[in-house]
Amino acid sequence: MRIYSVRIYYALLLLLGVFAALLVGMPTVPSAAQTAATATIKLPPTFTPPPSAIPLITPATGCAAPLPLIIGGDVLLRGGVNVRSEASLSAGLVNYYPTQVRLHLGDGPRCVSGYNWWYVSGVGHPGWVVEGTPGRYFLQQFIDPNTTNCAAPLETVQVGALLRTVTGSRVRETPSNDGFVLTVVLNDVQLPVIDGPTCADGLNWWKVRAPAGNSGVTVDGWLAEGFPGEYFIEGLTASGQAVEPAINCLAALRLSAGSRAAVTYTDGVPRRLRSAPSASAPVVAELLDGIAFEVIDGNSVCADGYNWWQVQILTTGLTGWLAEGRPGNYWFEVLIR
């Protein structure tokens, strides 16, 4: 009887062992709390998310700040840039320069399709070009190292007196086209002059005290006076009246008898062929952009602040006197010297 009891005892132990082994091998089902805990991945305490890229183009305007190019001046355009009929990437191509070229800047900037556009002319068909992007610009201001860097400053502007802006102008921290812009003043604003003039980048600069917005705060900065015949400012008398500056002639273009050139302008106003070297002489003819002529006399005449040349129009044979314009805004495109 005892033998049977022992056998039953061992049989029960064997069944319990098999049952325990089965329980250990079965997969367990996680609870809802365990599922939620494993679904949340905790970052290490030293982890810092990478910063997002900083855009070079501001969303407010779509374009980076334009280059401080001077309307009426000359620029250098690098080769390989398309010239288009309008300030648009989809506008028709009107010109192409395979190498760097010096051109006249007539208008701009216009922000279109994320690019600042400028209107250029001087060689071939005029049109619009993009200035490029920060770090890869296609345009730069041209400064002729073989000529006087600055014209004589305005005699009517004096330190301690007032000047008045003729156009909207940027007031910069330093007297340079690359200087940081402190504020922008509109045209017909009177400003006290506190220093100057200083010559930089082919321009005379005056230090002025200008309002910074409508808050009543003022800043001291530098304002460019512009070019002879195309000034950005004018001097004022003690009573606030404008003083007309006496404009002297600068060095004339190097032309000789037989030199050929063509009329060029960007302001839409035809240039006038006159019977004598004077801005008040009778008009012989109005000359449109592109009209070619030949210089008769190799000696220019200085009058009314301009160098005048006696010329003959190639298409009509008319003769008369034509002003050459001023540096940065010449009205001649020389073809043959």
Q: CA distances (Å), 254 to each of 121, 199, 229, in order?
A: 21, 25, 20
Half-sphere exposure of 24 (CA within 13 A, CB side): 6
Residue corresponding to tokens 């540096």: 327
Q: Which fold has domain 260-336?
A: SH3 type barrels. (2.30.30)
Whether the predicted model's global pTM rises above the 0.75 cut: no
Cα gap 68→224, rounded to integer Å: 12
Positions in the chain whose pLDDT score sits under 50:
2, 21-60, 146-148
Q: Contact at 8 Å (CB) between 126 and 106?
A: yes
Q: What's the token pair of residue 193?
A: 């002059």
**DSSP structure class, residue 236:** B
Residues in the chain: 337
From-to residues of CATH 2.30.30.40 in the chain: 260-336
One CATH from 2.40.30, 2.60.40, 2.30.30, 1.10.3470 for 162-235 = 2.30.30
CATH number, span 74-141: 2.30.30
Q: Contact at 8 Å (CB) between 264 and 103?
A: no
Q: Which residues contact 173 (CB under 8 A, 6 or more apart)?
A: 179, 180, 181, 182, 221, 222
Amino acid at 104: H
Looking at the DSSP bridge assignments, the partners of residue 206 are: 223
**∠ CA 306-310-228, rounded to 5°:** 10
The pLDDT of residue 36 is 41
Q: Which residues contact 178 (CB under 8 A, 6 or more apart)?
A: 68, 201
Q: CA distances (Å), 40 to each of 32, 50, 203, in order?
A: 13, 20, 65
The pLDDT of residue 160 is 87
The pLDDT of residue 7 is 61
Q: Contact at 8 Å (CB) between 132 and 187?
A: no
The pLDDT of residue 237 is 66
The pLDDT of residue 49 is 36
CA dihedral 128, 133, 139, 142 (to 10 degrees): 140
Q: Which residues contact 84 (CB under 8 A, 6 or more apart)?
A: 91, 92, 93, 94, 127, 128, 129
**DSSP structure class, residue 111:** E
The pLDDT of residue 57 is 38
The pLDDT of residue 245 is 53
The pLDDT of residue 242 is 60
Q: What's the token pair of residue 215?
A: 């808050």
The pLDDT of residue 273 is 94
